[in-house]
Structure 1
Amino acid sequence: MDRPVILDCRGVWKLYGYQSKEFLARHNGSPSDQDLADNGIIGAVRDASVQIRKGEIFIIMGLSGSGKSTLVRCLSRLVEPTAGEVHFEGSDLLSMSEANLIQVRRKKMGMVFQHFALLPHLTVLQNAAFPLEVQGVDRRTREEKARQMINIVGLSGREDYYPRQLSGGQQQRVGIARSLVADPDLWFLDEPFSALDPLIRREMQDEFLRLQSMLHKTIVFITHDFDEAIRLADRIAVMKDGRIEQTATPEELVMNPATPYVEEFTRHIPRAKVMRLRSVMSPGVPEGIYAGELAGSLTVDATIGEIDAAEHPFKVTDENGMPVGTINARTAIDVMIGRTNG
C-alpha cells in the first residue's frame, strides 16, 4: 500500500499520576511496568506508534481498559500526551496553538462517539448543521450541506424530527451526518455502534462501508469487537495494557500473530473470514471457461456461496480489475473447513 501517511504518531505516552513527566524523564522515557506500579503511575498509553494512511480504515482494538480510547484522544489532542510526537498532514499537533488546533478540529477532523450526544432541542437538520453554525457559515449554506449529508446517511424526510423521535440507529446516523458535514480529512469513530442492538449494528456496519465506498475518508475506528474489526478494517492495531501488540491487516493478524496475546485474541476467528481471494488463488489465468470475475480483495467467506454454486472456476482480479489468478470451489472449501496451510 503506497498511500501517503496523513497522521503520524510516534512514541506516545499518556501517564496519570504525580509528576508523570518528571517520572518519565527519570526513567529515560522507557519505564518498566514495575517502575509504573512502584510509583503509583497509571500507564494509559505506553510508547505507542501508529501511522494512518490516507483513505484507509484503521481500527484500534482491544479489551476494556486497553488504552484504545485514550490513544485516539491523544491523536486528536483532546487529551494531552505525556510524551511523544503527533503529526497531522505534516503539522506538529502537540506544538500547535489552541486557536489553530480548534480550527483543525472544526475543519479537518470529524468525530463520532458511542453516545450520540445529539442536542435534544434541535431537529435532525439543525443537529447535522451545527458544526457549520459554529464555524459561522450562513444558514442557507449550512442547511443545504446538512441536507446532503442527511440524504447520504439515509434519513431524508426526517429533517424536522427531534432526536427523541428517532431510533438508536437513526440517532447514530444523525451523529455521522453531523461529523461529515464539514468534510473532514480525518474521521474518528469511538465504538460508534456498540450501543446498538446486534441487527441494527450489522446494518450500520453495512451503511458505514457504503459511505466509505462513496467518500473515501481516512478513518480511525475504535472497537472491542474483533468480528467488527475484521469486517471493516484495512489494518488493525491490537492494544493491551496501553501498548500496541501488533499492527497488521486482519489476514496477517490471524495468520501470523506477533505475540501470544494476539494469537489468543484471534484464535477463534475462522480463517475464511479474513483470507482474501488473492491469498489463496492459483496465480496466472490459463485459457479456459470461467464463471466470471471476483475481486482479489474479497474474502473467501463472502464469496463461497457464489464459487461453490458455479460449474467453473472464477478469475481473480487485482485492484485495477486485471485478472491475476483463478479460484475454484475445492480451494475455497478447503479454506472454509480449515484444510489449508495458507
Structure 2
Amino acid sequence: MVAPPRLNRLAVAEAADRYLTSVQVESVRGVLSPATARSYERDVREFAELVGSGRVLDDVTGEDVDDALVRYQASPDGRFSDPSRKGAPGRSVATVNRFRQSISRFFAHAARQCWVQADPMQWAAPPARSRDRLRVERTALSASAAGALLQASAVAPAAGPSRAGPVRSPRSDQALALRDRLVVALLLVLGPRVSELARADVADFTREPEETRWRIVGKGGSIRTVALSAPLAAALEEYLRELRPRLADRRPDDPDAQRALLLTWRGRRVDTQTVRALLARAVERMPAPYRRPATPHALRHTTATLLVAEGWDVKVVAELLGHRSIATTGVYLDRIEGELAAAIRSHPLSAGLTAPEATVAGPPPGG
C-alpha cells in the first residue's frame, strides 16, 4: 500500500516564494509571457500581505480568501495616480476577477505540491460578473472616431504660457509627434497588445522595398508575422529616419535602448504606461464629437471590429491579433452603430416582403 504524500506546512510567504520561482521558470521557457509573470507575482505578493505572510498556508480558509478579495477590491487602484480619472473608488470587477484567477492558480499549484490538504478556492464565493451577455458599452471606436484619433496623434500640442513669459519652450511630447503617430497607427491598423508594442525592437521589422513585415513576439513566446500597409511602412521609415536616431543618441551606452523601436524623450525604451499616456494626450486633441476615453486595448477591439465589418474572415482577424481560438476573437467584436438596421435592410428575404401591386377589380367570373 502506497503511503499518502506528506503535507508540507509552509508559511504563506515561503509558499509564495516557491510558487513564484516556478512562475519565473515558466516565463523563461516561454510558457508565460513576462507581463503575465509580473502580474502573477504582484497579485500573489499582495494576497500574502492580505491574509498574513506568517500564517501557515494550509490554515487559510475560503472565508479568508473572501475577506482578502473584499479588502483588495476596496483598496485604491495603483494604476490611477489621479483618482478623478477613474469612475468609481476601489478596484473594478474585472481587476478583482483577474486577482482571483492569480490566487486560484497559486492554490492549484500548492495543492499539487501538498502544501495544502484542500484548495480553499472551492469554498470561496463565486466571482462577480463584470457584465451580462450584452456589453454595457461599446469598446471599439467607429471608423470616423478612429480616423480622428489618428489625425490627433500627428498634431503637436500648442505651446502654453510659462512662468517667465507668455510662451514656454516646446514640451517633450511636442517633439514626439512622429513617434506618437506611429504608435497609434500600429495599434489601430494591426491591433497588437500594448506589451507587444512596448517590447518591439527595430530588428523585429524586416524592411524591404516591396514589403515591410513585423515579427511580433506574443503571449507565451508565440510568434506571428504581419505585413505593414504602405502608409504604415512610410510612417515607420519617417520615424526611424527623422526622430529615433536623436532619441537613441541620448543613451548610447544602454543596449536595450539601442535595440528598442520606441523610445522616450530621454532615450529609454517606452513602457506600457508611456503608451497609455500618449494615447490619452491624443484623445484630448480629438474633435469634441468623437472624444471619448480610449485605451490600447480599446484600439485592439477597434481593429477587430472594423476588419470584420469590412468583410474580412474572422479567422484572418484572429491570426492578426494572435488569438489561438476564434472564440476569443469573437469577444473582441463590438457592435457598430447602425449595423443591426443595415443587416435587417440587406436580409435576402426583405425584397420578397414588398407589397404586391394593386390590381383593378373586374367583374366576377361568369358575370
TM interval, shorter chain, is under 0.3
More strand by share: 1
Query: TM (normalized to structure 2)?
Result: 0.25
Query: TM (normalized to structure 1)?
Result: 0.27
